[in-house]
């Protein structure tokens, strides 16, 4: 479940011929996967596909604000809202596909420590869940892709930056640091409790 492609990483590290070496290719794929999980850990969420069409998703109390539910992922489809074991009429709530917010006619009960008091059925997130390629949804955050590329480049130990000296000579330096740009990109997507 990567958030960027091998081509994007290779372009960042200026190593587009790595496809010819199976070991390097496998290493770069591993770096992309580890970078994607780094993004998940840092943001306290994921950017994957979630299928709750058969089994209901218990709504966390922290997702509820009055008569709104703010999901950690965009809603793809929503077929059922249940409050205290009572299935709500589709006339009682509204949502827009691709958005994270569901609005109910009445205030939803916010019962602390009782996950599941409110539940929903549907599909959420990005992608289709049937491929291991990065999500290609138009709504997939470009910041997540860029942050993943930068982290994977740092993890790869193949990330080189050229530095010019005062006399004009250029030196290639290895850069294994996760840049401040990564944190700036990810901070907007971090879930706070």
- Identify the helix (H) or strand (E) that includes residue 148: helix 142-156
Distance CA 61, CA 117 (A): 8
The CA angle 64-116-113, to the nearest 5 degrees, is 70
Distance CA 49, CA 135 (A): 9
Residue 142 has pLDDT above 90, yes or no: yes
Q: Mean of the pLDDT values across residues 174-193?
A: 86
Q: Sign of dihedral through CA atoms 126, 128, 132, 133?
A: negative
Q: Mean of the pLDDT values across residues 133-161?
A: 89
Most confident stretch, 16-30, 144-158, 170-184: 144-158
Written in H, E and C, the secondary structure of 73-138 is CCEEEEEEEEECCEECCHHHEEECCCCCEEEECCCCCCCCCCCCCEEEEEEEECCCCCCCCCCCCC
- Joined together, the tokens standing for residue 5 give 């492609």
What is the C-alpha radius of gyration for the chain, rounded to an integer number of angstroms?
Answer: 21
Lowest mean pLDDT among 104-108, 123-127, 138-142: 104-108
Residue 143 confidence class, pLDDT cut points 50, 70, 90: very high
Cβ–Cβ under 8 Å, residues 41 and 169: no
The confidence score (pLDDT) of residue 81 equals 93
- DSSP state at residue 153: H
Residue 46 has pLDDT above 90, yes or no: yes
Residue 121 confidence class, pLDDT cut points 50, 70, 90: very high
The confidence score (pLDDT) of residue 23 equals 86
The confidence score (pLDDT) of residue 111 equals 60
Distance CA 149, CA 4 (A): 6
Give which of 103, 117, 91 is closest to 67, Cα–Cα: 103
Provide the mean pLDDT of the chain. 87
Lowest mean pLDDT among 45-54, 68-77, 102-111, 142-151: 102-111
The confidence score (pLDDT) of residue 110 equals 62
Q: Mean of the pLDDT values across residues 64-88?
A: 91
Cβ–Cβ under 8 Å, residues 77 and 122: yes
The confidence score (pLDDT) of residue 100 equals 92
Residue 134 has pLDDT above 80, yes or no: yes
The confidence score (pLDDT) of residue 112 equals 56
The confidence score (pLDDT) of residue 20 equals 73
Cβ-in-10-Å burial (0-12, 13-18, 19+) of 53 comes to middle
To the nearest whole percent, how much of the chain has pLDDT over 90?
52
């Amino acid at each position: 479940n990567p958030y960027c492609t091998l081509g994007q990483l290779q372009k960042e590290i200026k190593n587009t011929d790595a496809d010819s070496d199976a070991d390097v290719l496998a290493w770069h794929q591993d770096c992309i996967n580890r970078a994607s999980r780094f993004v998940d850990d840092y943001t306290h969420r994921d950017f994957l596909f979630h299928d709750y069409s058969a089994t209901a998703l218990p709504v966390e109390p922290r997702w509820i604000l009055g008569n709104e539910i703010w999901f950690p992922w965009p809603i793809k489809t929503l077929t059922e809202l249940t409050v205290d074991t009572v299935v709500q009429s589709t006339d009682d709530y509204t949502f827009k596909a691709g958005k994270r917010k569901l609005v109910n006619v009445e205030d939803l009960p916010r019962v602390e420590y009782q996950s599941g008091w409110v539940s929903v059925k549907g599909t959420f997130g990005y992608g289709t869940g049937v491929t291991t390629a990065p999500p290609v949804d138009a709504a997939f955050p470009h910041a997540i892709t860029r942050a993943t590329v930068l982290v994977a480049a740092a993890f790869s130990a193949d990330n080189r930056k050229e530095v010019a000296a005062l006399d004009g000579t250029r030196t290639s330096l290895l850069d294994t640091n996760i840049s401040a740009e990564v944190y700036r990109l990810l901070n907007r997507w971090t879930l706070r409790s």
